[in-house]
Amino acid sequence: MSTVSTVLDELYHGHRAVQSYKDVETVTGLFSDLLVHEMNIPEYADDEDLSVLDIACGTGAATASLYAALPRQKWDTTKVLATDISQPFLEFIKERGAREGWKAMETKSAEGANVDAPAASFSHILLNFGIMFMGPSLLPTCLSLLRPGGAIGITTWHVLPWHDQVSRAASLLSPSPKVLTQQELLKTYHFKEGQFEDPAYMKRILEEAGFVDVRSEVRECTTVTTNEVVARTLGIPLKLIGNEWEEDTRQQVRELVLQGLAEKFGEEGPAKLKWVGVVTVGRKAG
């Protein structure tokens, strides 16, 4: 049995980190697309200079959403600082930026919001599926890093991906392996204390940190994916949900999940999957 942090460490820092996370990004990117629009970034870019901080940038889902939402002629003047603690991700996003033409993007290794920038440096802060690793204590720093009137956007999971499919498949085995409930799992998976899956909680922590005009709501996204990507992506939740199972049991559950998807969507797919997150936005007064 590996600990949750070992599983996530492998996911974020291991030699296959970038490849396995690129699959995850096909989902997290849908939520960062929503975030960028909820924050009205394209409209803001019409008359003000953008300077965006992407905290816990990973392979660049939120930065990619940002540039995709802007007209090409704005790209060279749109500054982005993409930060993370994972070196493989930072190297990847740097190369990705060079390839994509994100000329004004810089990267920096940073823990949480400790990005070593002067106060009021940024017009926007993006934190796409990252706050659960850092906890709400980074929010006051985010507030000070924003210009007056600047905005923050945060996404979290409302329902843990794959939990339904994995627990249904596990229940078909005899004896059935123990499946942690969503709540139990969220508690383990959220390294920091907090109900990040709850929009009321998200709204409260932002308001307590001093943000205004805070809105938080549950949003759904759907992916239409090949069965191959589904099979690859399943490895991570299986390790988290079935952390205490024998490898053999994990394999059996994996086969049953894939079988269930094949019955529902056909052997060739594509699988149409629903993901449920929480999208929270707030503003610094001014």
Cis-peptide into 175, omega within 30 deg: yes
Which residues lie closer than 8 Å to 140 by C-beta, 6 or more apart? 209, 210
Span of 128-136, 171-179, 199-207, 227-235 interacting with ligand SAM by CB under 6 A: 128-136
DSSP conformation class of 53: E
The answer to whether residue 112 forms part of the interface with ligand SAM (CB under 6 A) is yes
Q: Smallest distance, Å, CB 282 to ligand SAM?
A: 18
Q: Smallest distance, Å, CB 281 to ligand SAM?
A: 15
The answer to whether residue 122 forms part of the interface with ligand SAM (CB under 6 A) is no
Cβ proximity to ligand SAM, 202 vs 258, nearer residue = 202
Binders in 154-173 for ligand SAM, by CB under 6 A: none
- Please give the Cα distance from 258 to 60 (Å, whole number): 28
Give the residue closest to ligand SAM by C-beta.
58
Question: With contacts defined by CB under 6 A, how many residues of the chain interact with ligand SAM?
Answer: 20
- Draw the binding track, 233-252, toward ligand SAM (x: CB under 6 A; -: no contact): --------------------
Q: Name residue, tokens 């269930």.
A: 260
The answer to whether residue 221 forms part of the interface with ligand SAM (CB under 6 A) is no
Binders in 23-82 for ligand SAM, by CB under 6 A: 25, 28, 32, 56-58, 61-62
Cβ proximity to ligand SAM, 169 vs 277, nearer residue = 277
For residue 205 the two structure tokens come to 């922590």
Closest by CA to 39, choosing from 126, 137, 102, is 126
- Per DSSP, the chain holds a count of helices (H) and strands (E) of 13, 7
DSSP conformation class of 138: G
Dihedral, CA of residue 67, residue 196, residue 176 and residue 8, to nearest 10: 50
- Using DSSP's 3-state secondary structure scheme, residue 222 falls into strand
Binders in 200-219 for ligand SAM, by CB under 6 A: none
* 254 CB burial (10 A radius; 0-12, 13-18, 19+): middle
SS (H, E, C) 71-100: CHHHHHHCEEEEEECCHHHHHHHHHHHHHH
The answer to whether residue 279 forms part of the interface with ligand SAM (CB under 6 A) is no
The answer to whether residue 123 forms part of the interface with ligand SAM (CB under 6 A) is no
The answer to whether residue 105 forms part of the interface with ligand SAM (CB under 6 A) is no
- Residue 149's identity, in one-letter code, is G
Q: Smallest distance, Å, CB 173 to ligand SAM?
A: 29
Which position among 41, 50, 131, 134 is part of the footprint of ligand SAM (CB under 6 A)? 134
Closest by CA to 58, choosing from 15, 31, 24, 33, is 24
Which position among 36, 39, 64, 84 is part of the footprint of ligand SAM (CB under 6 A)? 84
Q: How far are the Cα atoms of 25, 63, 106 from residue 53, in angstroms, in the given order?
A: 18, 9, 10
Span of 130-138, 156-164, 176-184, 207-215 interacting with ligand SAM by CB under 6 A: 130-138
The answer to whether residue 12 forms part of the interface with ligand SAM (CB under 6 A) is yes
Which position among 34, 53, 80, 86 is part of the footprint of ligand SAM (CB under 6 A)? 86
- Using DSSP's 3-state secondary structure scheme, residue 225 falls into strand
Residues that bind ligand SAM in the complex, under the rule CB under 6 A: 12, 25, 28, 32, 56-58, 61-62, 84-86, 89, 111-112, 128-130, 133-134
